[in-house]
Amino acid sequence: MKVLIVGNGGREHALVWKIAQSPFVSRIYCTRGNAGINRVAEAVDIDPTDVERLARFAEEEGIDFTVVGPEAPLVKGVVDAFEKRGLMIFGPSREASRLEGSKAFAKRFMERHNIPTAEYATFEDPEEAKEYVKSKGAPIVVKADGLAAGKGSVVCTTQEEALRTVDRFMREGVLGESGKRVVIEEFLEGEEASYIVMVNGDTYVPLPTSQDHKRLLDGDRGPNTGGMGAYSPTPVIDEITERRIKKEIVERTLKGLKEEGIYFRGFLYVGLMITEEGPKVLEFNVRLGDPEAQPILMRIKNDFLKVLMDFYEGKRVYIEEDERWALDVVLASKGYPEKPEKGFEIHGIEEAESEEGVVIFHAGTALRNSKVITSGGRVLNVCAYGRTLKEAKERAYRAVSKIHFEGMRFRKDIGDKAFRYLS
């Protein structure tokens, strides 16, 4: 079988790594790729958001199955373009992708279908938005309506910060069209977690649980990012909480989509805050999370390509989970997330990969004169297995210590939030 992975980051490297293990794969392709992906997959020099060109390539090359990694191609309608040609592709349609493509749409959807989430208001006028902030006070959350690569959600601890964020998004246009409309939400207290399921209409299958670390600095300080690390499973989601997530969020979402005539097939990511009242939705994504995908895919034991294809065809599937923990530390560039510095040689990857239980997924890397260099904000995902979370963390950080590039930054506390649940 010929398989195409759309995207070129750490999540896509993990997908390539996992799917390449299937005995059904004869050739695997990836759009653009990176220094790690291109060791396994054949690079396709097409922008992931050039959906018509991608569909033509898949048709002409005889691609049997396509998996979409990032959100931008989904929101642009890559699934619609493929399905128009009768091609098999795993991901939601353009219409279904509005759950991620528009925060305002997602909040209204949750309101219509009684899905627990934060109180909110939507604004297209910056002065009205600022008046709302003044009436509510801080802490408060300001979100850009459109896609912003993890940079469009700002937890504002002061009223001044919230007013400044409204100006930056709506007046200064730092996020382009994505920030012209904003959603302002109440600040929810609790523990964040990620719950990702595979969906095919009425049917869903949960993937292993995980917890992301979105803030740049240790102790959940600094600006939000695309994610600075993750681990799986997470004790934050216990059996009782998981039952509530399924009943009050996932199943209501699927029922709501059906009632509105929207067919959803793909990954549904529920970003959660586990509050004293129970789980509430912070955001919906319509793809695997990044960096959650990396430890999640490491812990799936069965043939993931076969699982995806069987599920696509409506067959019953199950996920066999590795009993080990998996933990992912993101190595980022200086200046990330605002203005990452790029083009520096990376040293020590092979030495780090030789550590027991360690797997390294490339994100923002490229080859220059046979040397691996930084080419993005998030550069590498240093991941490790462990019989315990403590062992997984120690192995990952031991591998991190072997890697060096100019301006390298990372959080030192990935996974620490779980230890109080495990003692």
Annotate 139-180 with DSSP letters as a single string. SEEEEESS--TT-SEEEESSHHHHHHHHIIIIIS-TTGGGGS
Check residue 275 and give its pLDDT. Answer: 96
Does 59 score more than 80 pLDDT? yes
User: Distance between CA atoms of 270 and 272, rounded to whole angstroms?
Assistant: 6
Confidence of residue 149 (pLDDT cuts 50, 70, 90): confident
Whether 309 has a pLDDT exceeding 80, the answer reads yes
Per-residue pLDDT at 403 exceeds 90: yes
The two beta strands, 215-217 and 365-368, are unpaired
Predicted model pTM? 0.96
Q: Is the pLDDT of residue 422 over 80?
A: yes
Q: What is the mean pLDDT of residues 41-62?
A: 97
Would the pLDDT of 366 be above 80? Answer: yes
**pLDDT at residue 220, as a whole number:** 93
Query: Percent of the chain beyond pLDDT 70?
Result: 100
Cα distances from 311 to residues 200, 284, 316, in angstroms, run 7, 21, 7
What span, in angstroms and rounded, lies between the C-alpha atoms of 55 and 66? 10
| Mean of pLDDT over the chain | 96
Q: Would you say residue 228 has pLDDT above 90?
A: yes
Q: What is the pLDDT of residues 214-225, one digit of tens each?
A: 999 999 999 889
Q: What is the CATH number of domain 2-93?
A: 3.40.50.20
Region(s) of the chain under CATH 3.30.1490.20 = 125-180
Give the mean pLDDT of 23-48.
97
Count of positions (residues) in the chain: 423
Q: Could you tell me the pLDDT band of residue 3, with boundaries at 50, 70 and 90?
A: very high
**Residue 151 pLDDT more than 90?**
no
The predicted model gives 34-58 an average pLDDT of: 97
pLDDT of 304 above 90:
yes
- Quote the pLDDT of residue 52: 97
pLDDT at 150: 75
Cα–Cα distance between 8 and 306 in angstroms, integer? Answer: 22
Give the per-residue pLDDT at 89: 98
Instruction: Give ranges for CATH 3.40.50.20 in the chain.
Output: 2-93
Segment 194-212 shows an average pLDDT of 97
How confident is the model over 236-278, as pLDDT tens digits? Answer: 999 999 999 999 999 999 999 999 999 999 999 999 999 999 9
| 125-180 belongs to CATH 3.40.50.620 | no
pLDDT at 39: 96
Residue 299: predicted pLDDT: 98
* Residue 10 clears pLDDT 80, i.e. is over it: yes
Q: 151 in the Ramachandran plot: left (φ > 0), alpha (ψ -120 to 50) or beta? A: alpha
Domain with CATH 3.30.470.20 in the chain: 191-312
* Amino acid in the structure at residue 3: V
Render pLDDT for 95-148 as a digit per residue (tens, 0 to 9): 999 999 999 999 999 999 999 999 999 999 999 999 999 999 999 999 999 998
Three-state SS at 350: helix
Does the pLDDT at position 392 exceed 80?
yes
325-422 fold: Glycinamide Ribonucleotide Synthetase; Chain A, domain 4 (3.90.600)
Strand pairing report for 27-31 and 2-6:
parallel
Reported as a pLDDT band with limits 50, 70 and 90, residue 283 is: very high
Provide CATH 3.90.600.10 ranges for the chain: 325-422
Domain covering 191-312 in this structure, CATH number: 3.30.470.20
C-alpha span between 336 and 138 (Å, rounded): 26
**Residue 157 amino acid letter:** T
